[in-house]
Amino acid sequence: MTRVSISRTYFVMNIFNPVLTLAVLLCTLNAQAATNAITRETVAEAEKISGLHFTDEKREMLLNGLNSRLGDYNVIRNTEIPYGTPPAVLFNPIPVGFKIPHEHKQAKFSSFRKVKRPDNLEEVAFWSVGNLAALIKSHQVSSEELTKMYLGRLKTFGPKLECVITLTEDLALEQARRADKEIAAGKYRGLLHGLPYGAKDLFATKGIPTTWGAPPYTNQVFAEDATVIKKLEQAGAVLVCKTSMGELAMGETWFGGKTRNPWNLKQGSSGSSAGSSAGTAAGLFAFAIGSETHGSILSPAAVCGVTGLRPTYGRVSRTGCMALSWTMDKIGPIGRTVEDCAIVFNAILGPDGLDQTLYDAPFNYTGKADLKKLRIGYLKDDFAKKKTRTFDDATLKKLQELGAKLIPITLPTNYPVESISFVLSTEGATFFDELTRNNKDDLLVQQGKGAWPTAFRSKRFVPAVEYLQAQRIRYLVIQEMDKLMRDIDVYVAPWDVGQNLLMNNLTGHPAVGLPNGFTTNGVPTAISFVGKLFGEAELLAVAKAYQDATPFHLEHPEAFCLKGSRSRQ
């Protein structure tokens, strides 16, 4: 019986006799369960999935409960669960004894140099947030002019990169004109006022398609904006597009193609914040918003040569955001500089009264770090594992030149982080439960053993006991990471070697990734810095000190530069 027919039966019977209604409903569900009765043989085969072995006597005693549970599953599946509903069990990344800082101070950003509008406005396409803000605040350019310039670039270059799912031109021009009126009236909202940006297409936008990069959702439209979109609108930012994302937040392939790397169009841009990173690197907007569950900010930022911040778990609201893993999803900015990320992060962080995983922790950013006084660690063994160490060795050397006394450290190895990583896809299988049960996963572009359809199906067979045991091990990993972080303030790591990326995402620690060189083929390389929980201010300040002493963030892909050569800001 379908959901509709059960609900209709319940409605009719309820009018006359509530008790009879319940009886009819249970009989209906039990009849359904009987047609798929579980036998001792079924249990014996299922034991193999869980790595268990019971006797026939024990299997027999399980049958009544297991068959009854099928009816419970049907009741659950016929209960409407609104899209944004999280599980009642919330993930806690806070180690025992850890004290969240409470003293809020106003973030202090750089005093941006005086800028002059160039004759051709398109020359500012790669400027930083701070310099673009200075241009607007000094009334040398209007938000509408800047927005039209970026819209033009999006129309020209977006198709080449396959990095845009929806161009929000009408909304953008409306927001830009509003920003110009407010600024003209002396109501300047701050550094993001009037600046165009792109948002990964897993953030709900009122009246505009939010496709999650997947065919089953191409016509999906929500009636309300995600909290992050609302906060950026409050800051005066201008949404110019919904950027491409790997299908249901995996990889760089979506229903419209494969997002390209601006530095080499034959390569992909990695994922899943693919369009946000590629578009930022190609100068198609001032900054972008992405999300990370297991590398989806740091990976595409590294490949595309931009800067990405993955904040502490519980820092930025996920209300109105597609869930992949409720216990691992994090939202963060992607920009051309570390300070771009700091400015945007300052605008989007904090509680919204809806997402119950959020913490009201301060972001006391000053952008200043005395590397001589800080305890900066580095993953010595991970650096040694890299086949090409030229750029990473140069990074460590530069940090030492800046005064850092690097401390060799090793990540905790007591517990098997790879073996518990299935919590991510298990939670994803829960969010996309109906997609699997209705076989709509057949519509996804990516199929095969490593794709979501297979992963979600396989996670139907993860025992609840093992899922919770994995979360218990995760708790122990959190305590071990806390012990490590007590001895250092920040540590530097290769972004793509070892267990660092997975472990940080499991424990909820913040990280920032930024370019640290170019290969002989002209493709960017990257380095990552990892900070304490809620330690983004210090983390970003250290990364900024390194970035300010190097030129890599000032280089841009020549195919997207005005004069056909790498453009320096």
Q: Which of 552, 554, 532 is nearest to 542 (CA)?
A: 532
Residue 44 CA: distances (Å) to CA of 33, 37, 73, 253:
19, 14, 21, 40
34: which residues sit within 8 A by CB, 6+ positions away?
Answer: 67
Q: 271-310 b/e with 16+ CB inside 10 Å = b?
A: bbbbbbbbbbbbbbbbbbbbbbbbbbbbbbbbbbbbbbbb
Distance from C-alpha of 314 to C-alpha of 92, rounded to nearest angstrom:
9
Q: Give 258's strand partners.
A: 253
- If you ran DSSP here, which 8-state letter would residue 461 be given? G
Task: Tell me the backbone φ, ψ of residue 226, rounded to 5 degrees.
Answer: -65, 155
Of the residues 270, 273, 296, 317, only one is catalytic, namely 296
Adjacent-strand bridge partners of 222? 206
**Tokens representing residue 508 in the block:** 């909820």
To the query of whether residue 296 is one of the catalytic residues in this protein, the response is yes
Exposure string of 160-188, with b = 16+ CB inside 10 Å and e = fewer, is ebbbbbbbbeebbbebbbbbbebbeeeeb
Enter the tokens of residue 265. 């169009």
Among candidate residues 272, 276, 299, 317, the one labeled active-site is: 272
How do 264-268 and 196-200 pair as beta strands?
Answer: unpaired
Q: Cα separations (Å) of 325 from 228, 300, 441? A: 18, 19, 18
Active site residue 200: yes
By the 10 Å C-beta count (0-12 exposed, 13-18 middle, 19+ buried), 442 is classed as exposed
Residue 38 and residue 52: Cα distance in Å, rounded? 17
Selected catalytic residue, list 200, 258, 330, 532: 200
CB within 8 A of 525, min separation 6: which ones? 302, 388, 391, 515, 516, 517, 518, 519
Q: Where in the sequence numbering do the catalytic residues fall?
A: 200, 272, 296
